[in-house]
Chain A
Amino acid sequence: MRTGIFMAAVMASMLLVTSAQAAAEPGAAKLLKSTADHSKFKELKQVFNSGPEVTKACLSCHTEAAKQIQKTEHWNWEYKSPEGQLLGKRHVINNFCTSITSNEADCAACHIGYGFKEDKAFFATETNVDCLVCHDTTGKYKKPIGFDGNPVTKNTEFPPGSGKIIKAVDLQSIAQHVGKSSRTTCGACHFYGGGGDGVKHGDLDSSLEAPEKALDVHMDADGNNFVCDTCHDTQGHQVPGSRYAPTAQDKGEAHVRGKHYNTSPTTCQACHGQAPHKKIAKLNDHTDKVACQTCHIPKFARGGVPTKMSWDWSTSGKRGPDGKPLVKKNADEYEVYNGKKGDFVLAENVVPQYIWFNGKVKYTLRGDKIEASNQPVHINSFEGSASDGKSLIWPVKVFHGKQAYDPVNKTLVVTHLAGEDDTAYWENLNWKKAVAAGMASVNAPFSGKVDFIETDSTWPITHMVAPAKDALHCQDCHAANGRLEKVPGIYIPGRVSDHNRLLDTAGWAIAALTLLGVLGHGLGRIVLSKRKH
C-alpha cells in the first residue's frame, strides 16, 4: 500500500515537472534571434509624427548608419559607369514610365528616404534616410504613391476630394519591431518595378515572397529559404549586385565564410565554384561560354504573375463614355489598355532571349541624338561577343516600347506624368504640356513637338532559378531551332545555323557506305564459311 502511494507521488511529481517544462517551452520559443529587443528602448517609446523623427531615434544608437547609406546607389539613385556615363534612376530614361524626374512625388515611394528632392541639402540630411523601409518586420510600413516618399501618419484623403482614405501607419509600433531586411521588404519595391507587380524585370515579382521550390530553388520558403541578402551580401549598407554594375563572368573560386574576396558575392560561382556539375562532368565544359542562368532559368515570370513585354504609349489618350481614361482588361483582370498609358502586352512563362554579355551596358541618355530611321532605339545595349574572352551567353528579357520623343531635337524626353497639376499627363492626357513641363524640370530644350519612337530595353534574367531537374537539357540547345539558334560566333553541334547541307549529305553518305561495306563484308564471310563446310 505504502509503495503504491510512493509510486503515485513520484509519478505525480514527474507529471508536474513535465507540465512545467511544457509551460516554459512556448516562452523559450519566443526568444529573439536578435540581441536587442527594440520595443524595450526608451528612444522608441515615443509618438512619432514623421519618418525623420524615427530616423533621429535610430541614429542615436546606430551612429554611422546614415553616413553609410548616403554612399549607396539605393540612396543616391546615381551611378557613374566605368565608361563615364552618369546612370541611376535620377538620370536614365526607360521605356516603362520613362523617368522619375518631374514625377518624384510618386516615384519616391520607392526611395529609401523621406521627402525626396533633387537638391544637395536633401541628400546630405541624415534624418532624411528611411530606416524602416528596409528594416520593418511587421509588413505594415507603407509609403503611398504621391507623398514624396513619406509615410502617412494621420488618415488622409488622397487625392484630395476623392473620398479615398490612406490609412495612417503606426510608426512607434513599426520602429519597435525592426529587424533584418527580408524578401518582403526588398520586394516592396523590387517586385513592383515599372509600376506594378512583376512589370519590369520578369524574374522578380510578388510570387517570390514565399516561393515554392519549383519557382526558386534558393528562395524556396519551405527549403533553403534564402532572403535577398543571402546572395546580395550587404556590408555597411552597400548592397552588391546592381544591374548598373553587373558581373557577367565570374572566374573566381567559391567563397568561404570569413575570407575576403574581391569578386561579387552575388554570382552563382561565388557559392558553386567553376565546376559545379558533379554527376555529369561534361556540363562543366559549358561554363566558360554559358552563364549558369541560361540553363537553370528555363523561363521567367513562372510564379503566376505576368510581366510586361511591351508598352505602346502612342495609343494612350482614349477616354471612356464616362469621360475617364478608358481601361481594358484581359480575362485575368490585368490591364491591357489604359487611357493614361496606352497598350500593354503581358506574358507568363516566357522563354528568354539569349545574347553574349560581357558586363558592359551602354545607355541612350537624355540629350543623346536618336533617329527615327534607326528604330528601335536601344534604351540600353548589352555588349559582348563570342571572341572578347569576357562574355558568356546570358538569358535576357527584351522589353519593347513605343514612347514620346522630340522629333526636332531628336532626343528622348522627360514626361511629367504624375501629379495634381494641369501639366501632368495622367491628369490632362496632353502630351505637349506634359513633355514641356518634364523637359523644363531638367532645363533641357524642347521643340514643342512630340512624336513616338520604338525602343527596346534589355533586362538580365537571374532570379527564379529552377531545381536541377527542370533545367534545360542538351536537346534544348543542341537541336535545330533550339534555344541558342540565333547566338552568333560559336559552333553549337545540332544547330541549323551550324549545318552545311553538302557536308551533312557527304557525312551521311560515308556513314551509309561504311555500314553497307560492313554488312557486305559480314555477308561475304558467312557465305564463304558455309561453302568451306
Chain B
Amino acid sequence: MNKRVSAIILSAMMAVSGLAYVGNVSAEPVTIVGTISKIQLAPDGKSATAILKDNKSGASVTIDITDNLTLDKFKDKRIVEGDEIRTKFDKQDGKNHSKSFKKTAGC
C-alpha cells in the first residue's frame, strides 16, 4: 500500500514538474523572419499591428507593437509594407507582443 501511495505521489510530482517545464518553454520568445503585408497604426499612435508573412511557413502572423522606436519608424515610413523584418515576440493572451522588430540587413 505504502509503495503504491509513494508511486502515485512521485508520478504526480513528475507530472507537475513536467508541466512547469512546458510552461517555461511556451514563455520563450518566438522569432520569425518575414515580409510585412500590412501595418495598422492605432489612432492615438501609441500602438500598431503588423501582419508578416513568415518566410519559413508562409503563414500570416499578426504582431502587436508598442515600443516607441518601432512606432516612430512606422510613422516616418522608415518601415513600410514590403520590408523584410526579423521580429522576436512573446505569445500572451492570444496575441503576439513584439520584443524586437527590425529590418533584416546584411551582405
**Which residues of A are interface residues toward B (Cβ below 8 A)?**
97, 106, 109, 138-140, 145, 192, 195-197, 199, 206-207, 209-210, 221, 304, 331-333, 418
Number of interface residues of B (CB under 8 A): 20
Within 48-71 of B, Cβ neighbours of A (below 8 Å) are at 55-56, 67-69
Is B31 part of the contact surface with A, judged by Cβ < 8 Å?
yes
A residues in contact with B99, CB < 8 Å: 304
Question: What 17 new A-B contacts, CB under 8 Å, besides A333-B31, A418-B107?
Answer: A138-B78, A139-B73, A139-B76, A139-B78, A140-B77, A140-B78, A192-B105, A192-B106, A195-B107, A197-B102, A197-B105, A210-B68, A221-B69, A332-B31, A333-B32, A333-B33, A333-B86
- Please encode chain B, from 15 to 37, with 1 for each CB lying within 8 Å of some chain A CB and 0 for all others: 00000000000000001110000
Alpha-carbon separation in the docked complex, A140 to B77 (Å): 8
Contact B56 A333 (CB under 8 A): yes
A residues in contact with B105, CB < 8 Å: 192, 196-197
- Looking at the assembled complex, report how far the CB atom of A221 sits from the nearest CB atom of chain B, in whole angstroms: 8
Contact A140 B106 (CB under 8 A): no
Contact B106 A331 (CB under 8 A): no
Contact (A106, B88) CB under 8 Å given A139-B78, A331-B31, A333-B56? no
Contact B100 A304 (CB under 8 A): yes
**Which residues of B are interface residues toward A (Cβ below 8 A)?**
31-33, 55-56, 67-69, 73, 76-78, 86, 88, 99-100, 102, 105-107
- Looking at the assembled complex, report how far the CB atom of B30 sits from the nearest CB atom of chain A, in whole angstroms: 9
Main secondary structure of the interface of A (DSSP, over half): loop
B residues in contact with A199, CB < 8 Å: 106
Contact A206 B102 (CB under 8 A): yes
A residues in contact with B68, CB < 8 Å: 210
- Looking at the assembled complex, report how far the CB atom of A205 sits from the nearest CB atom of chain B, in whole angstroms: 10
Alpha-carbon separation in the docked complex, A97 to B33 (Å): 24
Contact B31 A145 (CB under 8 A): no
Contact B73 A196 (CB under 8 A): no
List 6 A-B residue pairs with CB atoms under 8 Å apart, sorted by A's residue number: A109-B107, A140-B78, A199-B106, A332-B88, A333-B56, A418-B107
Alpha-carbon separation in the docked complex, A199 to B102 (Å): 15
Contact B100 A210 (CB under 8 A): no
- Looking at the assembled complex, report how far the CB atom of A439 sits from the nearest CB atom of chain B, in whole angstroms: 21
A residues in contact with B32, CB < 8 Å: 333
Alpha-carbon separation in the docked complex, A332 to B68 (Å): 24
